[in-house]
């Protein structure tokens, strides 16, 4: 039985062998996994950035309330928070939009737990990226014959 495998490679139709078809498929899957990993990494880093700002605000709650009370409007409060604690605009928006019910000690514990979980996720995703580079070297390097192979591979 004959199979003609035509595929788009670099937006050009090409007839590929089974080995080439599988290689292109593996390359495609690696790209998908890399992009997905980068997406999840960026998402986790962005959330961790906000959680760090909220934790800083919770640790300095009394001073934070004084700064917000003394400010004329939201922009002045955001600028004062950024100057006092070195918060980024994203963090200041999160701090200014936090509701009073989230100021309880239970919510602070939840934020600390979320921060630890996000750090673990980020470390896993960064570690995955490093592992992927090592795996690519292993997959794409020529195999070496096993010790004492009687079949005479060299």
Domain assignment present for residue 8? The answer is no
CATH of the domain at 77: 1.10.268.10
* Greatest mean pLDDT range, 29-33, 40-44, 100-104: 40-44
d(CA 112, CA 83): 24
| Structural domain boundaries, residue 50 | 42-131
Region for residue 152 given its phi and psi (left: phi exceeds 0; alpha: psi -120 to 50; beta: otherwise): left
Domain assignment present for residue 1? The answer is no
Nearest to 53 by CA among 7, 24, 93: 93
- Residue 76: pLDDT over 70: yes
- Residue 46: pLDDT over 70: yes
Domain assignment present for residue 66? The answer is yes
- Residue 145: pLDDT over 70: no
Domain assignment present for residue 9? The answer is no
- Residue 53: pLDDT over 60: yes
* Share above pLDDT 90 across residues of the chain, in percent, rounded to a whole number: 45
Domain assignment present for residue 119? The answer is yes
**Does pTM top 0.85 for this prediction?**
no
Q: Count other Cβ atoms within 10 Å, centred on residue 92.
A: 21
- Residue 3: pLDDT over 60: yes
pLDDT, position 135: 65
Please state the domain count of the chain.
Answer: 1
Domain assignment present for residue 17? The answer is no
Domain assignment present for residue 95? The answer is yes
Domain assignment present for residue 47? The answer is yes
- Residue 52: pLDDT over 50: yes
């Amino acid at each position: 039985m004959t199979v003609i495998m035509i595929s788009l490679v670099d937006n050009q139709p090409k007839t590929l062998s089974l080995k080439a078809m599988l290689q292109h498929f593996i390359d495609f899957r690696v790209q998908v996994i890399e992009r997905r990993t980068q997406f999840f990494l960026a998402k986790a880093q962005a959330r961790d950035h906000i959680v760090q700002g909220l934790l800083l605000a919770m640790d300095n709650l009394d001073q934070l309330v004084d700064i917000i009370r003394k400010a004329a409007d939201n922009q002045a409060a955001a600028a004062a928070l950024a100057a006092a604690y070195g918060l980024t605009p994203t963090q200041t928006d999160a701090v200014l939009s936090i509701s009073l019910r989230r100021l309880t000690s239970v919510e602070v514990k939840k934020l600390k737990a979320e921060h630890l979980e996000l750090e673990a996720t980020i470390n896993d995703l960064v570690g995955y990226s490093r592992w992927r580079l090592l795996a690519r070297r292993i997959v794409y390097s020529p195999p070496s014959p096993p010790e004492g192979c009687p079949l005479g591979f060299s």
